[in-house]
Structure 1
Amino acid sequence: MIDPDQIQSGQDLAEQLSALYGEGGWSMHRLAEASGLSPATIQKMINGPGVPQARTLEAFVAACKQPAAPWLRARDRAVKNRGSAKPSVADLQEQLADARAQIRRAKAALHLNGGTPEQILKSHARQRLEQFAAQDPLIDPQNGHLYLVVHPATGAEDALVDLFTQRPEYQLDPIIRSIVRDRGHAEFSPDLDRGVWERRSTGCALVNGVDRETGAIREERFLETSVHEDGSVTLLCGAGSISTVSGWRHVSDVINEAPQYRVVSPWLVLGLTYGALALAGTLADTHASYQGDWLVGLRVTGLSGGAWAYEVVKRGDQDVVPPYNGSHYERIAVCETSDLLTPAALTEKLAGSLIRGLSIHSLVLPYPRTDT
């Protein structure tokens, strides 16, 4: 009987994989083609007793239509029970065979798609950002919106499914509070640690700025942070850019209505970006055991006609500081899980150009700052 929960050793794992191979009626070459692994690697996996790499095991069981999570936990037990022995020659040969298979797949991708692997991944990230922004529930927005997508490039579809079998907020709330606390710095609203959890078809979302009785959305307070079963995190904020009056009034404003200026809060952009990156990385590391590539996209809209940093307008300096002159802002990045676990550098990579374009970089960069 195939049951990864019974696996305790490398030999147990090999026997279960062998049973999975036999049950599927595979040939060595058909499974190699379906999984992207080499036939030699598959042969070693079903013969044992070595423990395959996590990504190798994930590719094998995915081709067999098995959820990855229980098999990766089984692998962790086998590794732990094996102790701290150095990799065997067979292990190193397996890693070499996998590396060669990955090179072949990368070359094939270059030939079919035209471009470097990073360019191809960035194209996929941009597509996901476009799809996410198109699902914005606010049909006639008055503000500019902030969209952020953090998606595992090769993760399993059920990477976080175990998280959602109970009450996910019991585990997610402490993680988010810890991220906000460690991030520190200027307060802004809306922020990640406010809202009500709602179940979604692909996970759950922490929603703020929606009237619980009428369902009406208060755009300036709207923030939806979604955690998906595939390990991705998406964020939509209704206050990417807003309109406000200057903190200083001209003499003519005493008679006439004070003009409105479009402003962006740099602390909000940096803080939400940092928090969403850290949330995705923490869940990948502690729940999904995913250490692969990530597709990340950030977009801020509503900048047409010029926009200033909130602090500039409140000081009354909008007449001497040039506005940001783009209609919207967008950055795409490819990173690894380690970049999400310590997200300061990636946060600046994504949002730094916008902050510099708003002429507010000396106040808020590098981020996070220790002097605010």
Structure 2
Amino acid sequence: MPNLLTNTLSRPHLRAQFASLRAQGLRSRDAAARLHISEGEALLAHAVGPMNLKEEADSRYSVTVLDDDWVGLLRGLEGVGPVMALTRNDHVVHEKIGTYRHVSAQGHVGLVLGPEIDLRLFLAHWHMGLHVVEHDPQQGDTQSLQFFDAWGRAVHKVHARPHSDLQALETLVQQHARPQLTPVLRPLDDTAPRAQPRPDAQIDRQGLGEAWQAMQDTHEFFDLLRRFGAERQQALRLMEGTFTHRTPLVAVEWLLRRAAREGLPIMVFAGNAGCLQIHTGAIERIETMGPWLNVLDAGFNLHLRSDAIHESWLVTKPTADGEVTSIEVFDDRGDLICMFFGERKPGQPELPAWRTLAHSLTQAPTPADRPAGHREAA
């Protein structure tokens, strides 16, 4: 796909087109896609350094490029107080309100371990940070920190909320502002071939099964996949009937509705190559809006494109604390969309009520679990 910022559209024209699409109600990501560029590239066109004063005054956005001290930036957010953390991929948006606490990193792997905001950071995929101020004639100014990979795809965003300390945010931005920097983004190319998994016949299925059975911790699963050269969805397929079972594609909706009805605390994992965001706790309000399946709670929102779910799996992993059960859903490219677990702390066994619920998802739903208008197959 061509890079229109450098090959077709001038920056003033891009800013005008992007502002027009945003004014029509398109989200920033979708407005950029309409222009055939990445969201990061669209926002970078609004960087305050290259714009003159009149352009800044007329622009819908004021964007400041930040340094790459990712851990320092996230640690500094604790002083800003409550904010909204947003992590997404093509099919799910995960939003949590809370304060960034206990931020740490070892090498390219980082952690945020607050009671509300719980993140796993894969910082090798972080390439550009921006402070974004959007000037909306109706809603006023909104502020956010937004982080992107080398292709300008968002890996994580932090949005100020009404109770955020905006002065503390401004101080943090000034400490990390680098307006003289001009990040270089790679052009998006959706036509590039994707790496294909190894043929099933080349995977040591017996060895994979034995190593799976020997797991003592769920975190060993990633090393297990690397060791046997198996892609995640491929491994689930190879272990079908032993450690994995297919579920109906609507299993996630049944899961959410039953968990809400029973007050069962769950864990919801969603993310991308650069960030995994986790919600832990009970959920309450489940709404469907067209293809979107939504959790709309006070401190947690989830927006999932249910029509993007191509496969849904019940997965069991042995651990030192007993079996751990998850529901994992994938799109038609084999990419993981999100995962669901019962609430659990290391060293504690899985909640029996969660295990019962998860295993029931391989069966037909009860009437209370069925989506409005749902019909069983004849």
TM-score by length of 1: 0.24
Give the helix-richer structure, 1 or 2.
Answer: 1
| Structure with larger Rg | 1
Please, what TM-score do these two structures have when normalized by structure 2? 0.24
